[in-house]
Amino acid sequence: MLKELTTFLLWVTLGLVVIASSTVVIFFYQSRRRSRNYLAKNESELRYFIQQQVNSRGEITGYECLLRQKDDTGQWRLPTHLETLPLQRVIFLLDGVFANLPKEPYTLAINLEYDQINSPEFDYFVRWAQSRIDPMKLVVELTVNPEARYRHHRQFLRQVAAARDYGAEFAIDNVGNRQIDLKAIEWMLPQTDIIKASMRQFRKADGEWLDLNLQFWRRLAEEHHIDLMLMGVEDDQDVELAKLLNITHLQGYRYGRPVDVSEQTED
């Protein structure tokens, strides 16, 4: 009996050693991966701009935070390799933006990457953002790449469900016009509050066929009790199309370009 107990304890000890070693290796790998990414370094000049969102009457209902990076010409452009930008730096960049937002019960959308939402820091990020933007409501957005292979679906859905329990909403950004775009997000729909479609994806050239059109996304949103927002609204023709399809959540240059409201700089 004593021998069996000793053997059992030995195996338990070996198991704990393996788990601890694996944890150290994974942490080291993640640290190295982040350190190689230029967005994780303070030398990369990043800043959040905001763009307003409106209803069908043109009244402001919310804002979206859009991350930009200054290029060699001094222009602010959409950065690449967002997937390894640490949430700690996202918080640092947003802090100055939050301080300059109106104290109104609008929504505030922040686009995050899949790995950022799946990270252990996401729970803290949601609680921190909610506390800083009150009385606004946080909307966590994900732009899905239909070509990507997303892992850990259950963990991701648990993370989103927890954020929604805190009062946040979840949005799928920039859905496309192909069947593959639908297949990429179907598993997320039970935890989705908002679907965002961009006019850029649905402006057809003569004779062009789209697998999925705006009418399809409107019906899908209604079936799942999800709000549909039309982005990239640029002119009166786009506004009329939104009215025709009964899309009442709008965003685009027609209502204002992204602006810098942060007084915070990174030296």
Question: What confidence tens digit (pLDDT) does each residue in 146-177 have?
Answer: 999 999 999 999 999 999 999 999 999 999 99
Q: Are residues 163 and 205 in the same domain?
A: yes
Q: Are residues 25 and 88 in the same domain?
A: no
Residue-number span of the structural domain to which 217 is assigned: 45-255
Please report the beta strands in 144-267, taking only residues with DSSP state E, as ranges in sequence order: 169-175, 194-198, 227-231, 249-251
**Which residues, other chains included, contact 128 with Cβ-Cβ below 8 Å and sequence gap of 6+?**
91
Q: Are residues 31 and 51 in the same domain?
A: no
88 neighbors 121 (Cβ within 8 angstroms): yes
Domain count, the chain: 2
251, part of any domain: yes
CATH at residue 113? 3.20.20.450
pLDDT-based confidence at residue 85 (cuts at 50, 70, 90): confident
39 neighbors 82 (Cβ within 8 angstroms): yes
Quote the tokens at residue 38: 């230029």
pLDDT per position as a tens digit, 229-257: 999 999 999 999 999 999 999 999 999 99
